[in-house]
Each structure stands twice: as C-alpha cells, then as structure tokens.
Amino acid sequence: MRRSTITEQQRAAALLLAAGQHEYKEIARMIGVHRNSISSWARDPRILELVEKLQGDIEGKLEDMSIEATRRKHNFGCVPPFTWTSDTVLGFYH
C-alpha cells in the first residue's frame, strides 16, 4: 500500500528531478536513498505531479529573473540629464 503523504526525501528527489541536472544515482546519493527508490518514485503519479509543478515554478522564476536582468541592463545605461546645482559646483571645487 502506498503512503498518502510525500516524505521530505521524496520532495527533495522531486526538486532535483525537476531541475533535470542529475542522474538517478546522483540524486539517490545526495538524499541518502538507494537509486531504485528514485526510479520507483519517478514513476509514482504523486511525485510526477510534484515534479511538473516544480518545473513550472522553476520556469516561472527563470522567466522573472530574465525579465528583471533585461530591465536592469536597459536601465543601467540610462543616465538622467546632468544639471548644474550649487552643490555640484561647490562639491567640485572643494
């Protein structure tokens, strides 16, 4: 009988599976389980659903970061027009 709750190890495995950068044996070593557990969990519909959700979260975060980086890049080159003020002149000569 399958457990109805997902364990912390299964959540960690789901996150690593969602990232898509590690083999099952590496994930198993990282979280301290046998690689057969990872293989079994990767077929579990509850884990698959969690992996899909996490992949969506990762994609959304990457999109947000890309938009922010592009915005910062474009704003970085924008310098407001220079105006002379008494502070500028006094600061320059002191």
Report pLDDT for 29: 97
**Series of mean pLDDT values for 10-residue runs along the chain (94 residues):** 82 95 96 97 96 92 85 68 56 49
**In the 3-class helix/strand/coil scheme, how is 11-66 assigned residue by residue?**
HHHHHHHHHCCCCHHHHHHHHCCCHHHHHHHCCCHHHHHHHHHHHHHHHHHHHHHH
Report pLDDT for 30: 97
Cut 0.95: pTM above it: no
